[in-house]
Structure 1
Amino acid sequence: MVERAAKQQLRVGRLLKAHGLKGALKLELYTDDPDGRFVPGATFTLQVPQDSKWHGKTVTVQEFRWMNNHPVVFLEGIEDRNEAESIVRAILWIEQDQAEAEAQPEDDAWYDHQLAGLDVVRDGVVVGKVSRVDHLPSHDLLIVRMDGEEVMVPFVSAIVPEVDLAAGRVTVTPPAGLFEELPDDAPATPDAEGPAD
């Protein structure tokens, strides 16, 4: 039996806004090697809303450059500002061999399957498990299963400061109220007939 090498999807960037009049787009980078990822001819799949004209399509890099310390990309077929505006906020994904990904790990970058099933630890105590990862335009969410309920945890360093794949856990420092209901500030008062005249 011949097994095909496992492929994984790796998120490498998001198109922030149109830049100039010739179809360039500013990038938010999710890779440590932008000059290696965004070479001419590199093709990316797009994560866009289903009603977008770009849904189900791919884009190919024509040129990548740095302008005033900002990464900017030109994509094939996008030649003016109006067309660039139509693809703003799209997230770019690339298919990568699992072996390549493990040989060249990126800081602060994990595959969904690596995160799913990890213990969620708060103050040294396991409070739940990661059931899945939801990808939003602004940031990702870890969906944590605890006590039969799901809690949405923003996957940002301020709330999830550590991911330890070897130990099988993520450490969380959530704000008050994320994992539990906050008590009412005002003490409960018994029913009263109302103020006396």
Structure 2
Amino acid sequence: MPSDLVLVAKFGAAHGVRGEVRIKSYTQDPQALLDYSPLATRDGRLFHIESLRPAREVLVARITELKDRNAAEAVTNLDLLVPKDRIPPAEDEDEFLHSDLIDLKAYSVAGDFIGTITAVHDFGAGAMLDVARKARKSVLIPFTKAMVPEVNVAGGRVSVDCPPDYFEDTPRPPEDRD
């Protein structure tokens, strides 16, 4: 994905027979997708949102280019992206786009290099930074102010304040294994 595009949503299953489709929004305000229309796919197609309405954990959208159920089914699971310059700046200095965090270098508060952020995950209990470490397994670091007290996107780095044994590769005892 080009670095100037940001993933904002994903098409889900078709909804009904008139071409409506479910959309999973990754924006803080799901209705903001209307402001970002048209949305692009990785292969360059554009989709114009005519309307959005909430439906449980997703949105249901009427898309200009989707005229019937077959067309809606054909776009299931497509990522929807917008150019980064169309996303308004964060209102809070502690808000970041996931794409801004990828490739930042992670250092301990003492200045020791830990690794490089390769992904940002949210499994439901808050964001986690996936940090690739040299010659060791990657490590997940909770993306909280306590664990990551400083983020310097322009400087290409984050500071991490973890307990001393957080990065040790100690084997788990047999009774604690899955």
Query: Aligned AA for 1:116?
Result: D
Could you tell me which amino acid in structure 2 is paired with residue 185 of structure 1?
Answer: P
Output the TM-score relative to the length of structure 2. Answer: 0.62
Give yes or no for contact 2:90–2:96 (8 Å, CA) kept in 1.
Answer: no
Give the gaps of 5 or more residues in structure 1: 1-6, 48-54, 154-158, 187-197
Q: Does 1:168 align with 2:158?
A: yes
Q: Counterpart of 1:59? A: 47
TM-score computed with the length of structure 1 as normaliser: 0.57
Paired residues, what number? 157
Listed as ranges, the matches of 1:1-197 within 5 Å are 8-39=4-35, 42-47=37-42, 55-67=43-55, 70-97=58-85, 101-104=88-91, 109-119=96-106, 128-133=114-119, 144-149=131-136, 151=138, 160-162=142-144, 164-166=150-152, 168-169=158-159, 180=169, 182=171, 185=174
Give the SS at the match of 1:26. Answer: strand
For residues 56 and 129 of structure 1, the distance between their equivalents in structure 2, rounded to whole angstroms, comes to 33
Matches of 1:88 and 1:152, distance apart in 2: 32
Specify whether residues 105 and 116 from structure 1 end up closer, same or farther in structure 2 by C-alpha distance, changes over 3 A only: farther
In the TM superposition, residue 12 of structure 1 has moved relative to its aligned partner by 1.5
What is the identity, as a one-letter code, of the residue corresponding to 2:27? T
Cα displacement (A) at 1:67: 4.0
How many percent identity over aligned positions?
18
Change (3 A) 1:106 1:160: same
Whole-angstrom CA distance in 1 between matches of 2:21 and 2:38: 15
Question: Aligned partners of 2:162 and 2:18: how far apart in 1?
Answer: 44
| Distance in structure 1 (CA, Å) of the matches to 2:64 and 2:120 | 29
CA RMSD of aligned residues (A): 4.1
In structure 2, relative to structure 1, the CA distance for the partners of 1:32 and 1:131 (3 Å cut) is closer
- Secondary structure (helix, strand or coil) at the match of 1:128 reads strand
Q: In structure 1, give the amino acid aligned to 2:103.
A: A
The aligned counterpart of 1:50 is none
- Indicate how the Cα distance of structure 1 residues 107 and 25 shifts in structure 2: closer, same or farther if over 3 A, else same: farther
